[in-house]
Amino acid sequence: MILTSEQRAEAYVASGAWNNVTLVELLHRAATAAPEAIAFEDVGAGAVPGLSASYGFADAEKRINGLAAFFAAVGLRPDMVLGIHLPPCADAAIILFAALKAGLVVAPLPVYWTKSEIEAAIEAASIKAMVTASEIEDEPSGELVRDVAADTFAIRFVFAVGDGQPDGLIDLAEVLADVEALGEPPEVPRRGAAADHVALLSMARTPDDELLIVPYSHNQLMTIATGHLFEARIVAPETVLSTMHPASLASVAGSIATALMSGGHVAFHHGTSLAGLADAVDSAGADRVVLPEVVVAPLAACLDRAVAFSAVGAGLGLAPAPAARTVDLLTLGGLCLLPRARDAIGDAVALPLGEAHMGGIGTAPVLFETKIKAKAAARSRKADGGELLLGGATIPEAPWPEPQSGRRSALLAVTSDGFLRTGLAAEEHGGRLVVTGTLGETIGIASVTVSPKRLDALFRRHPGVEDAAVFPIEAGPVGHRLGLAVVPKAGERLSLTDLLIWLEGEEAGKLDRPAALVSVTEIPRNADGTVRREALFLQAVA
């Protein structure tokens, strides 16, 4: 499926920003150059029982081709969407490339998502098949995804990896036990350039906390990786350790494509502790680590040698980082992945207003372009602030089609001239942009933005609550935790444990669960009715 207009695609190719190489072709070139070299490997303690592997390029291609043939044989057709519900691991990379080889589109399903969150993504993204693990961190993920499929008519197949799988799942280890018997991968007929077709659906949230499906083509993903190479000044093969979801933008473009372009390989680690992550960096001999920005400084303090970092963050209040070789991969709320090298002392470099060229070289292709759409009420005052708009070779310019059953997600907002509306407020200062927050009120929890208004409404539904409001609690390097203030109904006494049990019944997401509860006589509000959340925090710590 091609969503980029033919005119823009031709312009991007002519400029040199797009090269019409697919991710599958990138892998094949690496395999041809060094068939016996390591392509993907797992390091450190695994999150899935029985799942730890290391694949050379030749072996990886053999498994990818066989699995692509299997996907086609069971009836998965080009442009169908495969949801990947796995932690970072080498097998996930094999599955991802096999799906792309078969012409499928991949979509990340975060492992911490609840049943209702996965079901919403299935409908919004039109997911037709899923792959999961028997267990992830001792949680029965196989049973969870199997139950989702049983309740969701759209899902045709659920594939799984790891030991101890429950009944009803298709074991990919058994499928690949005789990979030679699976036959040749399918020939995928394509209209136009294969690299113009959508390869990945990113999952984002609007400021109102609605699910947003963001489609990316092969060309867009490859351009992000090229920009990453320029910003990080990667000139030799690198071993890239990825801690990100294997089908996320940060993993596919920021880790896998970047490593393969450099002539290196990818090591995967599902980090649950700083000590374990530090050991994984040493075990892999990693040159670069791709990880959430809030973990960069704490990890750097644990390492005995200098390592380059690619810090994934929303760009709303950047965490500190070591000065040496740190690059920000700005997601701006999950909408994009903009690589930006930090300065000599480790400070973030603001986005430019206008065109951003690869590596900051004026003669290089344009990586992306920014502009500010002034608020209607402020135009007459020549205001220097408004909504941040993004365009260019790395930025999606069209929404993913709405599901036939009726839209359950927000629709990607794009202007008539192809600029993506981000929902972020920005101001110009000396030709640079400063992102000041979201147009709507949000709270950042573990690098994910959540809507406090939605959470307020959720907690007001509790039968023992008269009124409620959430507030952010600073939590050091991990960002914020969620606090909750409630006005109990007469005669009611609420405990945090009781509230968490109630949330289970409401199928609330894991990020919706408060870490602290305080009872108050009233919720402080401004004259316009908005909650004074800072006042609630001060009451909680008083």
Angstrom distance (rounded) from CA 435 to CA 500: 34
Angstrom distance (rounded) from CA 475 to CA 478: 6
Angstrom distance (rounded) from CA 383 to CA 60: 54
**Residue 445, Cα to own-chain centre: how many angstroms?**
14
Domain 6-341: top CATH class:
alpha beta
Q: Judging by DSSP bridges, how do beta strands 366-374 and 308-313 pair with one another?
A: unpaired
Angstrom distance (rounded) from CA 426 to CA 385: 6
- Nearest-Å Rg of the Cα atoms of the chain is 23
Q: Which amino acid is at 383?
A: A
**pLDDT tens series, the chain, 542 aa:** 999 999 999 999 999 999 999 999 999 999 999 999 999 999 998 889 888 999 999 999 999 999 999 999 999 999 999 999 999 999 999 999 999 999 999 999 999 888 888 998 999 999 999 999 999 988 899 999 999 998 888 899 999 999 989 998 999 999 999 999 999 999 998 899 999 999 999 998 776 677 889 999 999 999 999 999 999 999 899 999 999 999 999 999 999 999 999 999 999 999 888 999 999 999 999 999 999 988 888 898 899 898 999 999 877 656 666 766 889 999 987 889 999 988 887 778 888 889 999 888 888 899 999 999 886 554 444 456 888 999 999 999 898 887 655 555 678 888 888 899 888 888 888 888 888 777 767 776 666 667 788 888 899 999 999 999 998 887 655 557 888 999 999 888 888 898 999 988 887 877 788 888 889 889 998 888 888 888 887 877 66
Query: 485 near 471, Cβ under 8 Å?
Result: yes
Helices assigned H by DSSP within 272-431? 274-284, 293-302
Beta strands in 151-210 (DSSP E): 157-161, 170-171, 198-205
**Do the two domains 6-341 and 443-541 of this chain adopt the same fold?**
no
Angstrom distance (rounded) from CA 371 to CA 385: 10
Domain 443-541: top CATH class:
alpha beta
Task: Give SS3 for 124.
Answer: helix
Residue ranges of domains in the chain: 6-341, 443-541
Write down the pTM of the prediction.
0.85
Query: 247 near 132, Cβ under 8 Å?
Result: no
